[in-house]
Amino acid sequence: MSLATTYSPTDVEAKWYQRWQEQGFFKATPNPKKVPYTVVIPPPNVTGVLHMGHMLNNTIQDVLVRRARMQGKEACWVPGTDHASIATEAKVVAQLKEQGIAKSDLTREQFLSHAFEWKEKYGGIILEQLKKLGASCDWDRTRFTMEPDLTDAVLRVFVDLYNKSLIYRGVRMVNWDPEGRTAISDEEVIAKDVQAKMYYLRYEVVAASSKLQATSSTQQQSLQPESESLWLTVATSRPETIMADVAVAVNPHDPRYAHLAGATVRIPLLGREIPVIFDEYVSMDFGTGALKVTPAHDLNDYELGVKHNLPVIDILADNGTLNEKAVLYVGQERFAARKQIAKDLQEAGLLEKIEEYPSIVQTSERTKAVIEPKLSLQWFMKMEHLAKPALDVVENDTVRLHPPKFKNMYRAWMENVRDWCISRQLWWGQQIPAYYLPDGTFVVALTAEAALAQARTQSGNADLQPSDLRQDEDVLDTWFSSWLWPISVFDGFKDPDNADINYFYPTNDLVTGPDILFFWVARMIMAGIEFRQEVPFKNVYLTGIVRDAQGRKMSKQLGNSPDPLDLIAQYGADGVRTGMLFSAPAGNDLLFDMKLVEQGRNFSNKLWNAFRLVKGWEVDATLPFVNEKAVFWFEARLQAAIIELEDHFEKFRMSDALMTVYKLVWDDFCALYLEMVKPTYQHPIDAETLRHTTAYLETLLKLLHPFMPFITEELWHELAERGPREYVCVALWPKASAPAAPPRILADMEKALSIVAGIRAVRNQKNIGPNKPLALVAKTDDAALLTEFDGIIRKLGSISEVSFADAGPAASVSFVLGGSEFFIPLEGHIDLAAERTRLGKELEYAQGFRESVQRKLGNEKFAQNAKPDVLERERQKLADAEVKIVALEKALAAL
């Protein structure tokens, strides 16, 4: 036999992946004779390389797709990448910098040329890595969010929504990345825990009412500890923004500040007077209860400013330096200015104190820069109109979330949806199709030619030339392309009635992380309903975050994330896939442990060795069929497992699905069935047993294939001669059928196997080797069962003889099953004296423990004051101790 003695993944994985592709098994075309099954990949960034999250996500997708393919469906898994505006532009700018080229030295066209060159060189790396994992994507369908047809789709959608008055341009508060110099979306903002500083600044109060002049001496003392002036202390974490202050707000119910009605205060150092305003928004128990209002640099302050009709002063330039409106510290970087202003305030006697406190800062996911809330002229999309139907379809389970607990999160976001800032101050991306006329007005059109015609009509100036129009410099948010993904990958905007979109849309299952449930999943649902009047998918399987054994999110910075390709090289793709899935329940974080991958590799080896065992048997056609009971039993176990497996798949319990097949193979097939039927060493097996065993093995390979594609394909072709396209990859998925065996035989078989389990438990407890022969003495009314299954019990339990008695022999240990008791004599197998000593010590400890619990329960004070659940636990401890003592006394008596 040519099969190697040990399984070597590297020898088979590349071979079979190449053959699958050569045979075209992953390709999908509209086929009216088949039911479509469609999955679109969450497009990884072109800047990305394979990480553990990708491994989990794409393994689950591949399991679903491979199973669907084997079910006879037209399985279509569409791969692709996302252009990732901010991340890619940062990569290209950094590369150019290494070459001595600044972005500012290039035209837009020159920069884009460099960017596309970078994308062609590095953008497909992650897709090639997914092939190592075994991902069975239709690679001929690979899409890119900035390819011409998908860009055209984005522009068409923008124009359509603008014409529907759902897109507008305006000044609003955004998340501003001073390093990337662009607005970014909420999902690109990462909150970080920090130890921050709170600065207590002294604002001089300017008398502006008779009420203030009549301030009591007590109030004056609290406001002006060191001078004749009155002072108002304001706490802030951002002293560099005081030059943008336009008011100080206090709560109208705060008695400390009731006398400040109509007053103004002077901004420290700057001296500009600003009013004191009253608003219930201000918390009386945070800081000093007085809030500096800076509408240009805080969202809540902005809303407060709108409410009180306050001016807006923006003192920060796009790069995070202070601009001329700050008057002071102009040109200084914001954090450098913070240090300087704190020093100057201290010297001027205007800094009362500095306190440290735990806080959260918002940072850019891509550049790591601290985000600035900033008023900015941007393009926005109204969301309320689109959100309601997208909420309804999740509420009524037209789109099902797995697990359903995420419905509440989804609802909370959708019911409080905010308009979407869709513009980015970058060059890499789809340029906004808005064209400005010389007078500052603009038109929105799909092309420059259409814009010119529209501008001539709008302005009444037929002489306008292309040079008179200037296209908006900004590009659209990357998510504005990916929200169209399930439609655009099938060219549903280019040709809304093409064969692909009509056949493959809506897709079936989406696998993604809950962190983008709102920002991608919800928006895709909106787009599907708006542009196809149909949801884009039926199920959303939400994976957890891959964390290390300490519960920390895996990251390169922490150094706790292994390289997935290194894992595949060491343990094999099948080992890694199963290792990831062993503890990957939907929606719950996966605590990754290398032992799981080792377990996956061990499972591969177990399967390999079981296969070698079966293939190594010699067959004798003249032998009678002697393993009918074992065959009947495993057939029943197999059919029960298929039913259980289908239920897990239906409910998207992927980890449970794998464990069902794992236990079927490891426990039922390898540990029990093969041990029952394997012939004595160097003896042949009967033909009927081998036929059934080979058929079972073939079925197991089918059930395992979605989880472990490589080893199953290898063994499939070793198991029998196959035709040119007879691969397990496209073999028919097993369906459950009724067991052929009478129920009585199956029930009796389970009883016999319970006896074997009891024997094996004794071996484990007494550290007796699995092959050392033991005797079995039975006290039972069902001697017929032991007679009927004598061969199986002897074989699986390594029992040399079975006898019957009314009592157990001396020096034996027993176990009880139903109304029967079984004894195993231990003399000659263990050191009886040492065992008596060990059991005696255990008994002494158990008795002492029982007494301590009895004393506690007998303590009247404890009994009266303890909570009911505490009392119940103590009573349970006592009951457990009693049971253990009886068992130990019985064991000692037997010895």
* Cα atoms found within 13 Å of the Cα of residue 725, Cβ hemisphere only: 8
Residues 852 and 739: their CA atoms lie apart, in Å, by 54
Residue 595: CB partners within 8 Å, gap ≥ 6? none
Label each residue of 245-304 as H, E or C: CCEEEECCCCHHHHHHCCCEEECCCCCCEEEEEECCCCCCCCCCCEEEECHHHCHHHHHH
User: Does 556 count as an annotated binding residue?
Assistant: yes
**The 434-436 sheet, strands edge to edge:** 442-444, 434-436, 470-471
Cα 671 from Cα 630, distance rounded (Å): 13
Query: Exposed, middle or buried by CB within 10 Å (0-12, 13-18, 19+), for 535?
Result: buried
Contact (CB, 8 A) for 489 and 141: yes
- SS3 of 164-224: CCCEEEEEEEEEEECCCCEEECHHHEEEEEEEEEEEEEEEEEECCCHHHHCCCHHHHHHHC
User: Residue with structure tokens 């991306």?
Assistant: 429
800-806 contacts: CB < 8 A, separation 24 or more?
800/773, 800/774, 800/775, 801/775, 801/776, 802/775, 802/776, 802/777, 802/778, 803/775, 803/776, 803/777, 803/778, 804/777, 804/778, 804/779, 804/780, 805/777, 805/778, 805/779, 806/779
Sign of CA dihedral 145, 148, 150, 155: positive
Phi, psi (rounded to 5 degrees) for 298: -160, 130
- 162, 816, 833, 78: which is closest to 500 by C-alpha? 78
Cβ atoms of 244 and 296 closer than 8 Å? yes
DSSP letter string over 140-153? GG-EETTSHHHHHH
Residues contacting residue 258 through CB under 8 Å, at least 6 positions apart: 252
Cα separation of 317 and 321, whole Å? Answer: 5
Residue 803, Cβ neighbours under 10 Å: how many?
11
- Check whether the bond before 486 is cis (ω within 30° of 0): no
Number of H helices, E strands in the chain: 31, 31
Instruction: Give residues with Cβ within 8 angstroms of 855, minimum separation 6.
Output: none
Q: At which residue do the structure tokens 């472990």 appear?
A: 708
Q: How many CB atoms lie within 10 A of CB 783?
A: 12
- The C-alpha atoms of residue 355 and residue 288 are separated, in whole angstroms, by 13
Neighbours of 92 (CB within 10 A): 22
Amino acid, single-letter form, for residue 470: R
CB 444 within 8 A of CB 458: no
Q: How far is CA 89 from CA 99, 416, 481, 790, in A?
A: 15, 32, 16, 74
Written as six digits, the tokens of 606 are 């177990």
Burial class (CB in 10 A: 0-12, 13-18, 19+), 633: buried
Could you give the 3-state DSSP secondary structure of residue 555? coil
**Residue 660 backbone phi and psi in degrees, to 5:** -60, -45
- Cβ 149 vs Cβ 487: under 8 Å: no
Residues 658-696 as b/e (b if ≥16 CB within 10 A, e otherwise) read bbbbbebbbebbbebbbebbbbeeeeebbebbbebbeeb
Residue numbers belonging to the annotated binding site: 556
Residue numbers belonging to the annotated binding site for ATP: 556
